[in-house]
Structure 1
Amino acid sequence: MVMLLQERSARSVLDVQPSGVIRVAGRTLSVSPVFDTYWRFAAARQKVYEARLAGGPGPFTDDPILQRHRFTNCFRAADRVSQDLIGDVIYQGDPAWEEVFFRTLLFKIFNKTSTWQLLTGELGEVRWDSYDYRAYDRVLSQAFKAGQRLYSAAYIVPPPQLGEHRKHRNHLRLLEMMMQAGAPRRVLSAPAMQDAYRVLLDFPALGPFLAYQFVTDLNYAAEMPFSEMDFVVPGPGARDGIRKCFGPASDGIEADIIRYMADTQEEHFTRLGLAFPGLRGRRLQLIDCQNLFCEVDKYARVAHPQIAGISGRSRIKQTYRQQAAPMRAWFPPKWRLNGPA
């Protein structure tokens, strides 16, 4: 059963002092104006998401920064690429876990729906038990020569050095290595999400951030039993956002801060008079709070240009363009958010 927002609020551990500081992991952290912006951004961005789902011509907000620039949704699973992964990859095709693992990792290595559609359009059903390196390389190489972009710019998956001369070929070899090393079985039999993450971390080119992103994607599948509140790995963008909220004293305890944000979310929304219904009653999870720090880092470049992060970036690169395609909102059935069939 999904735990509703109000059902969790009595058990949270708010520790905000009147002086504008919080205590996390034994440290006293000064709060910058970006801290309240985090909560206001989350509430405003969720309203945009709900308004877009409801339809209508827009604009969906009167916030000029949100109107002009592109930001991801508050809930990672609601973003377009995650929706494509959940609906068209994980829950389509052979439900055998080895095949689900193979499809998920193949999709996520490129993280681009058009590349997945290219492969399925040319090769039919994507399956490990009928996988042929030469066929997959042929399709991808032809597309690359034709100028088609194979990879998303959302995050960079560095190519492992596995003897091939093209990035996509080395990534295919990496996926082969994972399958042949029994990664699907080892991930599924892991006693905790962090143990499953460590299985992925052992493979070439999968650093902490990517391994965490991939195990989160795999955890959308019906077979994976873990909670998104199990653990978190802060990425570079989240560290930037955390630094803007709390300053250098936050260094080294970013994961504790993300957990603090998840645990205390109801109190902060209430404190600021903000309505935040969650995702059909689902609270922000650790992965969502981590992502929100990335987005608030970008938002603060315009809203709070005087407050420095780590990277020193001062512009938001992506501008908002309204898409004509209707939005999907279908989530892992085990979350029980989809309503009657």
Structure 2
Amino acid sequence: MSAIESGKRGRDDAAGDDSDSDVVLLSGPPSSASCLPAKRRRTLSAKAVALQGENGASRRATPTTASARPAAAPSCTNVPNAKTAATKSLEKVVKPKVLEIVVDGHNLRTTPVFDMFWRYAASRQELENRRRAGEKAPWTDDLILQKFRFCSVFRVSDAASQFLIREVIEKGSQAHDDVVFRVILFNIFTRIETFKTLDRRLGPLTWKGYDRAKFEGVLKDIENNGDSLYTGAFQKPAPKLGGSSNPENHLHLLEVLMRKEPNLVYVIKNCEYLADAYDWINCLPGMGDFTAHQLLLDLSYAGLNGKGLSRFHPSDFVVAGIGAVKGIEICYNGLTKGQEIAIMRWMCKNQTKMFARLGLAFDGLKAHGKSQLMHLCDIEHTLCEVYKYEKMVRSGAGKRDVAMGGKARKFEPKHTLEREATIPKAWSNPSRKVERVKPGKFERVGKEYVVKALLDRRPAKAKMKTKTNAGSNASAPVKYEYLVDWLGYGVGDRTWEPEEMLREDAPQMVDDFEREKRTK
């Protein structure tokens, strides 16, 4: 079960700005209440020690030339053999420094993996910065980062997000329906080649020009050619919405998002809080915490003339996915359930102090002459990456099968990165500078039933109780009941529903049904 945003912060500054926090630097090993087994805890402590000198100072790689090349960020595995280094460090009996922090009134103590998080972030970002600067590989001394593929520290700078910004959002029709339609279409598959093929065969891609049969035909051609439709980075489960295949069901979901009343475009432009848009998306069939959050983040790159989700502060909302929760569990002792969001906020707020504490030079994301610190969503997915990274460190840098169950992807860069990552134009919206976290406790929304079609009509058998303007109960006549075919459900699940309810939930469908009935 993933953790969802709750609570409220009383500040309106930018994400990542530091302020006073409850932090105590301690000496000695983690407390005996560690969430890690003792043997594993000793191994991790030893490997963390291997990253420091006798006096606790971080190691830095020596520049290979006399040029002004920046020093390498300390890597988590910048030694020929991680296990050998760990064994040698055990003999030194050097105790790592531990932090004791207070988050939402709870005392937490960090494990050695907490420091690994910051070292990993610095090393992974330095790799990207050097690659963008045009330096030759390898761009890091970290053996694991040299061999295996890990996501960018900044979500906005990864390949999929860069394509989404440049080719999906900022090119083509800027009508709000068309932009949102293209974002959903890309998000469904999250595969650049799939979107390119659809655009080449059926473009320009607009909501008005959408034809499900034509889209299904192109998707079948891609599959028949032996090519993948979906990303390999994570699973894209399809809802059961009446289609005969996953792609067909995903197209049905796209139609629900665009046609539901109110539709996604309306919700985006009119929601008071970012959490409200998330709730609306997450309640639909086939949507889960992770998939709803990913779509929310993709939509946050679109401006819609100042009315898009880009108007919200990047710290307004976040979801802790399963990987991030596991990452938090190995970074801290003394955890209690439900602290994940508060912990990620603390990490985001104190990131500059944490990098400085370890002597790490974290340049952040460079764009337009500025440097951006990690947003809340970047902390979340880097925790997920560190969870995977730590398993590889623990098992040895080369043992991918042990660490990742044979699923680790080799790092094989095939193209040159732009000098700077493209930042969404919509992020210049001044509204992003003000935090608006939804107040109160988060209430998980239930799944909605979506009307697929109205099949028949009959006179109502009873009257419904309604509220009058004076507030008292009164009986109001209900003219008709409609036979509803529910999206994703079978013939046996059809029900008769009162007109009053359908007028609230699906007024256009009622009007269309009545119009067709009059013309017959």
Return the TM-score normalized by structure 2.
0.60
C-alpha distance in 2, partners of 1:285/1:12?
A: 19
* 8 A Cα contact 2:365 2:372, kept in partner: yes
* 8 A Cα contact 1:85 1:107, kept in partner: yes
The answer to whether 1:314 aligns with 2:406 is no
Match of 2:129 among 10, 30, 50: 50
Give the 5 Å matches for 1:52-131.
52-131=131-210
Give the 5 Å matches for 1:4-15.
8-9=17-18, 11-15=19-23
In terms of fraction of residues, the more helix-rich structure is 1
C-alpha distance in 1, partners of 2:197/2:334?
A: 45
Moved over 4 A (4+): 2-5
Give the 5 Å matches for 1:237-248.
237-247=323-333
How far apart are residue 207 of structure 1 and its match?
0.8
Q: How big is each residue's C-alpha offset from its partner over 1:129-180, in whole Å with a ceiling of 9 and x where there is no partner?
A: 1110000001001211221100002222211111111000000001001111
C-alpha distance in 2, partners of 1:134/1:86?
A: 27
Structure 1 residues 121 and 248 mapped into 2: Cα distance closer, same or farther (>3 Å)? farther
How far apart are residue 25 of structure 1 and its match?
2.2
The answer to whether 1:285 aligns with 2:375 is yes
The answer to whether 1:140 aligns with 2:219 is yes
Structure 1 residues 247 and 141 mapped into 2: Cα distance closer, same or farther (>3 Å)? farther
Matched residue SS, 1:314: helix
Q: How big is each residue's C-alpha offset from its partner over 1:254-282, in whole Å with a ceiling of 9 and x where there is no partner?
A: 11111111011011011011111221221
Amino acid at match of 2:168: V
Q: What residue number does 1:191 align with?
A: 272
How far apart are residue 57 of structure 1 and its match?
2.0
Q: What residue number does 1:274 align with?
A: 360
The answer to whether 1:41 aligns with 2:120 is yes
How far apart are residue 90 of structure 1 and its match?
0.9
Q: What residue number does 1:310 align with?
A: none
Structure 1 residues 4 and 228 mapped into 2: Cα distance closer, same or farther (>3 Å)? closer
Match of 2:107 among 24, 28, 34: 28
Q: What residue number does 2:424 align with?
A: 332
* 8 A Cα contact 1:243 1:250, kept in partner: no
Structure 1 residues 301 and 111 mapped into 2: Cα distance closer, same or farther (>3 Å)? same
Amino acid at match of 1:81: A
Q: How big is each residue's C-alpha offset from its partner over 1:28-74, in whole Å with a ceiling of 9 and x where there is no partner?
A: 22211100000011111111111010113211001111111111111
Identity of aligned residues (%): 36
C-alpha distance in 1, partners of 2:20/2:132?
A: 30
Tell which deviates more after alignment, 72-81 or 218-227: 218-227
Matched residue SS, 1:173: helix
Q: What residue number does 1:156 align with?
A: 235
Structure 1 residues 109 and 14 mapped into 2: Cα distance closer, same or farther (>3 Å)? farther
C-alpha distance in 2, partners of 1:121/1:194?
A: 35
C-alpha distance in 2, partners of 1:27/1:153?
A: 38
C-alpha distance in 2, partners of 1:4/1:207?
A: 26
Q: What residue number does 1:254 align with?
A: 340
Amino acid at match of 1:231: F
C-alpha distance in 2, partners of 1:274/1:261?
A: 15
* 8 A Cα contact 2:237 2:286, kept in partner: yes
How far apart are residue 215 of structure 1 and its match?
0.7
In terms of fraction of residues, the more strand-rich structure is 2
* 8 A Cα contact 1:160 1:204, kept in partner: yes
Amino acid at match of 2:411: Y
Q: What residue number does 1:206 align with?
A: 287
Q: How big is each residue's C-alpha offset from its partner over 1:66-85, in whole Å with a ceiling of 9 and x where there is no partner?
A: 11111111100000011000
* 8 A Cα contact 2:132 2:416, kept in partner: no
How far apart are residue 199 of structure 1 and its match?
1.3
Amino acid at match of 1:334: A
How far apart are residue 296 of structure 1 and its match?
0.5
The answer to whether 1:301 aligns with 2:309 is no
Matched residue SS, 2:298: helix
Amino acid at match of 1:124: G
Matched residue SS, 2:301: coil
Q: What residue number does 2:257 align with?
A: 178
Q: CA RMSD in A?
A: 2.1
* 8 A Cα contact 1:233 1:255, kept in partner: yes
Structure 1 residues 128 and 16 mapped into 2: Cα distance closer, same or farther (>3 Å)? farther
Tell which deviates more after alignment, 317-326 or 79-88: 317-326
How far apart are residue 240 of structure 1 and its match?
1.4
Report 1 or 2 for greater relative contact order, CA contacts < 8 Å, sequence distance ≥ 6: 1
Return the TM-score normalized by structure 1.
0.91
* 8 A Cα contact 2:15 2:375, kept in partner: no
C-alpha distance in 2, partners of 1:197/1:174?
A: 16
Structure 1 residues 14 and 321 mapped into 2: Cα distance closer, same or farther (>3 Å)? farther
Structure 1 residues 63 and 218 mapped into 2: Cα distance closer, same or farther (>3 Å)? same
The answer to whether 1:229 aligns with 2:318 is no
C-alpha distance in 2, partners of 1:154/1:183?
A: 26
